[in-house]
A and B are shown apart, each in its own frame.
Chain A
Amino acid sequence: ETGVTQSPTHLIKTRGQQVTLRCSSQSGHNTVSWYQQALGQGPQFIFQYYREEENGRGNFPPRFSGLQFPNYSSELNVNALELDDSALYLCASSLGSRGPNEQFFGPGTRLTVL
């Protein structure tokens, strides 16, 4: 069984640029959630995808968008990067969109915006 993987590991961008982060869910999982973790803070929910549809969104502006593919892998896109977007971005996969299903986390992508 393959765990959740994320790419790239680290990324440096400048203000105003766009970035795409990628996540492969654990085998058999159909739900992917994305979180932003700023330094010294707990993860903050961005949005969730279930069977290729957005299934819930946190308090993030529309320049944060996502996709889920038929193989349940997912992308997080951020447009018009701001300095405050610098954070660790975590992807978590789970089975099903209802109930207290365990979310399995990836190692994260560290984004630095200069």
Chain B
Amino acid sequence: AQRVTQPEKLLSVFKGAPVELKCNYSYSGSPELFWYVQYSRQRLQLLLRHISRESIKGFTADLNKGETSFHLKKPFAQEEDSAMYYCALLIQGAQKLVFGQGTRLTINP
């Protein structure tokens, strides 16, 4: 079965603290994983993808095939990071994205 699990619906941390948003996936093929973000009153937008291996807005995510995880991390949270974050898996062939249910991140001042 193709599934993406984000175990935390809500996550609250203080400004300057480290952040980790968890994502686990289930997929028999070679996974292509993404993190999408939705800021307040804005549309869903791509934050980063694992194949790029880049850091965006201080966020990084490493694909761990052994643990089937793609956790999103940032060493020092900022207030502007408050948003809804979705982990997504690309199902190749079907070219569809399978999303987790999302984690609402709140950064407290």
Decide yes or no whether A66 CB sits under 8 A from chain B: no
**Other contacts beyond A31-B95, A50-B95: 9, CB < 8 A:** A42-B88, A42-B101, A48-B95, A56-B94, A56-B95, A58-B96, A90-B44, A103-B97, A108-B43
CB atoms of A98 and B95 under 8 A apart? yes
Residues of B within 8 A of A97 (CB): 95
CB of B46 within 8 A of CB of A48, answer no
> With the chains together, A92 CA to B88 CA distance in Å?
14
Task: Assess the A56–B96 pair: CB atoms within 8 A.
Answer: yes
User: Do the beta carbons of B95 and A105 come within 8 Å of each other?
Assistant: no
Instruction: Decide if the interface of chain B is mainly helix, strand, loop or mixed.
Output: strand
A31 contact set on B, CB distance < 8 A: 95
Residue of B nearest to A55 (CB): B95
Answer yes or no: B26 CB below 8 A from chain A CBs.
no
Q: Jot down 19 A-B pairs with beta carbons below 8 A, ordered by A.
A: A40-B9, A41-B101, A42-B6, A42-B88, A42-B99, A42-B100, A42-B102, A43-B86, A45-B97, A48-B94, A48-B95, A56-B96, A100-B34, A100-B90, A103-B97, A104-B45, A105-B44, A105-B45, A107-B43
Q: Does B49 contact A (CB under 8 A)?
A: yes
- B43-69 interface bits toward A, Cβ cutoff 8 Å, 1 = contact, 0 = none: 111100101000000000000000000
What is the CA–CA distance of A106 and B38 in the complex, to the nearest angstrom?
12
Q: Is A65 an interface residue (CB 8 A)?
A: no
State whether the Cβ of B81 lies closer than 8 Å to any Cβ in chain A: no
- Counting chain A residues whose Cβ lies within 8 A of the other chain, the interface size class is 20 to 34
The answer to whether A100 touches B43 (Cβ under 8 A) is no
In this assembly, does A44 line the interface, its C-beta being within 8 Å of a C-beta of chain B? yes
- A55: chain B residues at CB < 8 Å are 95
List residues 44-75 of chain A with CB under 8 A from any CB of chain B.
44-45, 48, 50, 55-56, 58
At the interface, yes or no: B20 with Cβ under 8 Å from chain A?
Answer: no
B36 CB, nearest partner CB in chain A, Å:
8
A44 to B89, CA, bound (A): 12
A102 on interface, CB distance cutoff 8 Å = yes
- A103 to B98 Cα, complex, angstroms: 13
